Amino acid sequence: MAEFVDLDRWMAHRRPADAVVALRDGAAVTFAEFATLTAGWRAVFAEVAGARVALHFEDSLDFAAALFGAWHAGKQAVLAPDLLPGTLRRLSAEVCAIASDMPATTDLPQVRPLAVVANTAWLALDQQRDALHVFTSGSTGEPVLIGKRLAQLCAEIRALDAAFGDRIGCGCVHASVTHQHMYGLPFRLLWPMASGRVFASRRLVFPEDMQRALADAPGATLVTSPAHLKRLPEQLDWAPVRAQIGAIFSSGGPLPDEALPLCDRVFGRRPIEIYGSSETGAVAWRQRELDASSPWLPLPGMTVRIYGERLHLRAPWLREADEQEVADRVAAHAQGFALLGRADRVVKIEEKRVSLDAIERDLRDSGLLLDVRALVLPDERARIAVVAVPDAAGWAIHDSEGRRALVARLRTLLATRVEAVALPRHWRFIWAMPANATGKTTSAALQALFDARRPHARLLAQDEQNARLQVEVAADSPFFDGHFSGSPILPGVAQIDWAIRFARELFSLPEGFSRLDQIKFHDWIGAGTQIELTLQRVAADTVAFRIASDVGSHASGRLVFGAAT
């Protein structure tokens, strides 16, 4: 393996012109070719006024050339997380130009590399300069730029090499994650470059790409994430991959336990998991073997201190000389620590950091909602869900154009600021946020609104004793499962469930359920209809209900709450 060359001297380092730097579509790209490309970027960036340029590339080779070109032109690079309109707007205040291999809709000058006669004279870079800026969601959820000096990047890569240099192979480094963030950038690009490994320029988007690339790559390293590792299709022929893969890295979010046996079967080995963040870079690692709850071990050079549940870090690749506190809660272990969850309202959705506060703020700005809460539903595929109380304008859209139209309006608003995977997938519009006895909206109460058995409903009228709701009898309600195939009829138990559910949401009632009185079912209710549910509180513990529709009365009765007598 080639000697380790720090980033500041990487271009200036004397190496054979035909030394292979990268693989693009199976073809080797030499240092001479890379230097020519980089010189073209250096030339165009040298003509740009201003200190910072934004980079956003799908291809890692083009990105690397633009990055080194920018550095050698004296510029700082800002990593654009995406090309969404909101991001581009934010960037235009921070940078003077943008370079990308994809079209971007922006007023910023978009630059392409100049065709230059290869100028291969490269000086060493100043390690103490600000070299890189990345967006991270601050504590408020508003993205903020954080800067990194070249020395910080160099220190992090040295730490990675010290920790893993001997554990991974010398083969090509392939990745399913982009280099546009602080996991992908060092792992798939900068560390391979500094350690003399070849990196693959194209990202492996689908598992099939991964299988094909790795089947033909002895001793390869795969830089990937839980999004891929938990969705590996076992039907593919992974045997050639298993026979020769060198190492797998996973980061970006927690890798579920269930993904480990899948990794065993597909790759014959377990990933090295990395814990880190944009602010801190890589912090700790673990490779779970038999003990699936292995603690996280700090990287060499990372000093970890734990106060209560809070993690404090110090490392040569952190900006602050002082200790930096991170927003993850941890528990100390003999050798390292265990992660317990976030201390703030930032969540990870498929490796994308999403601020629930920011989503709520953006939605509140819609002018269509009085109140809104964003949450993550604890199902298999954690997705963001929204509970919202529309205002008059919001309900007007809801009532005239339908619920989906209101959802579409709100989603469109978010889509310019939030990446697709982080867009809320589930929506509930209600008349008031659920509140417990102390007036707090608990996450359990919010999650209960997403119970598949709870139908969509619109409160039509309410006073102290009475409430009237319009309830959608959706064809996909679980109450229709097996009742009956081909001719769905809403079971009586569903009608009682709905009456109890909405009575509890609308009135303060005693705990427990005592009995049903005077229950009558008059007429059946089919799928895809609308019914009106009338609730009347006739005593402190008793609510009378009636279900009716255009065709007449369907059911009525009394619900008696409180301990069974």
Partner 1 sequence: MQALEEEIKSLIIEALNLEDITPADIDAGAALFGDGLGLDSIDALELGLALQRRYGLSLSADSAETRRHFASVRALAEFVAAGRK
Write out the residues near partner 1 by the rule CB under 8 A: 205-209, 211-212, 227-228, 231, 233, 235-236, 350, 379, 381, 383, 403-404, 407, 411, 419-421, 423, 425-427, 475-476
**Please, what is the minimum distance in Å from the beta carbon of residue 210 to partner 1?**
9
In whole angstroms, the minimum distance from the beta carbon of 26 to partner 1 comes to 12
Phi then psi for residue 77, to 5 deg, are: -100, 135
Q: Of the two residues 15 and 403, which places its CB atom closer to partner 1 in the complex?
A: 403
Q: Select 475 or 540, whichever has its Cβ closest to partner 1.
A: 475
Choice between 420 and 516, CB closer to partner 1: 420
In the complex, what is the shortest distance from the CB of residue 530 to partner 1, in angstroms, rounded to a whole number?
Answer: 15
Name which of 322 and 476 has its Cβ closer to partner 1: 476
Residue closer to partner 1 (CB basis): 176 or 195: 176
The phi-psi region of residue 506 (left if phi > 0; otherwise alpha if psi is between -120 and 50; otherwise beta) is: alpha
Q: Which of 332, 527 has the CB closer to partner 1?
A: 527
Alpha helices in 207-248 (DSSP H): 207-215, 226-229, 239-244
In angstroms, give the least distance from the CB of 208 to partner 1.
4
- Show the 3-state SS of 135-197: EEECCCCCEEEEEEEHHHHHHHHHHHHHHHCCCCCCCCEEECCCCCCCCHHHHHHHHHHHCCC
Name the 3-class secondary structure at 9.
Answer: helix
Cα gap 285→274, rounded to integer Å? 5
User: Is 314 or 428 the residue whose CB approaches partner 1 more closely?
Assistant: 428
C-alpha distances (whole Å) from 124 to each of 19, 193, 445 are 19, 16, 59
Comparing CA positions, the residue from 271, 317, 321, 316 lying closest to residue 292 is: 271
Burial of 385 (0-12, 13-18, 19+ CB in 10 A): buried
Q: Which is nearer to partner 1, 423 or 559 (CB)?
A: 423
In the DSSP assignment, the letter for residue 403 is H
End-to-end C-alpha distance for the chain, whole angstroms: 80
Q: Which of 215, 222, 298, 294 lies closest to 263, judged by CA? A: 222
What residue has token string 């700082």? 76
Shortest approach of partner 1 to residue 212 CB, angstroms? Answer: 4
Tokens 């470059």 sit at which residue? 193
CA distance 127 to 491: 71
Shortest reach from residue 423's CB to partner 1, in Å: 8
Q: Shortest approach of partner 1 to residue 143 CB, angstroms?
A: 20
Give the shortest CB-385-to-partner 1 separation in angstroms: 9
